[in-house]
Structure 1
Amino acid sequence: MAHIANRGYPQEVFGESYYTRTLKRCYNDPTAERIDARSVAVPVLLKCKGDKVQVVSTYGQIGELPNEDAQYYRELYGSAEHTTMCRVYTRSGEIFGAYLSLTITEHTANKLLAKNLPNHEAFAQKPKSEKKGFFARLFGV
């Protein structure tokens, strides 16, 4: 799992209106990086579930990628989980929006995965078993 990020926040998050409470918690999180008077940056995890790509914060799901972008994301990055930053903004303090620091293009995907940047600490995962199958041991994979 790599940390994929871009300059700015060009990728929209779909369905964030269903997760207002979670977005409000993200916005009020004391560890969130303040971008300006109305927005903060928080780490999020991109999780593939079926044909959807969920956007999950430390407080829970905050939305998902639009269907077209989710399909293209899966083609470029596969079904592995990745982290990125999310801009959570508000004008009223009651209605929130979210954008990801993620550009979904083939050029960007290859470049970022080649760097293999580390995960964000907020999403530490349990170590996976080092068991290998017969062919993996045989061919040294």
Structure 2
Amino acid sequence: MNEMYDMSIVTHNWGVALVLGVILLNIFMLFGIKSLAKYTRAMLLFTPIVATAIGMVVFTGVVMMAAKHLDFTIENIAMIFFAFIFIYLEVKRSKALKSISKKEPDAFKNFKAYALKIFLLQIFVTLSISFWMWL
């Protein structure tokens, strides 16, 4: 049982690093792609990768909770809460991308500012829970 728990911790840490990498890649794509159509296409292909990274972190967290006999500690409850926040922010960003009017000239520019705020908030959420757990 300890081996499964130790392996889950390592995998969980790699999953969190992957989530941070995906957020940074999203930011680079946000400012690297100049066309709304190209960005929308890129997000259509990239969104499953984001969902997989988030799922990896959630799944390994569930495995660790199972290894600890479903102990609901304050840390576990906080991680569940932060996971919901993270998923909510990702849904808000995706819905905002879908609702962009292609006729407005500054719509993509406004979305970039909005998406950057969400990405920075996601980085803050991820790092804050990570620092709390690693201390």
Structure with higher helix content: 2
In terms of fraction of residues, the more strand-rich structure is 1
Q: Does the TM-score normalized on the shorter chain lie above 0.5? A: no
Instruction: Tell me the TM-score normalised to structure 2 length.
Output: 0.22
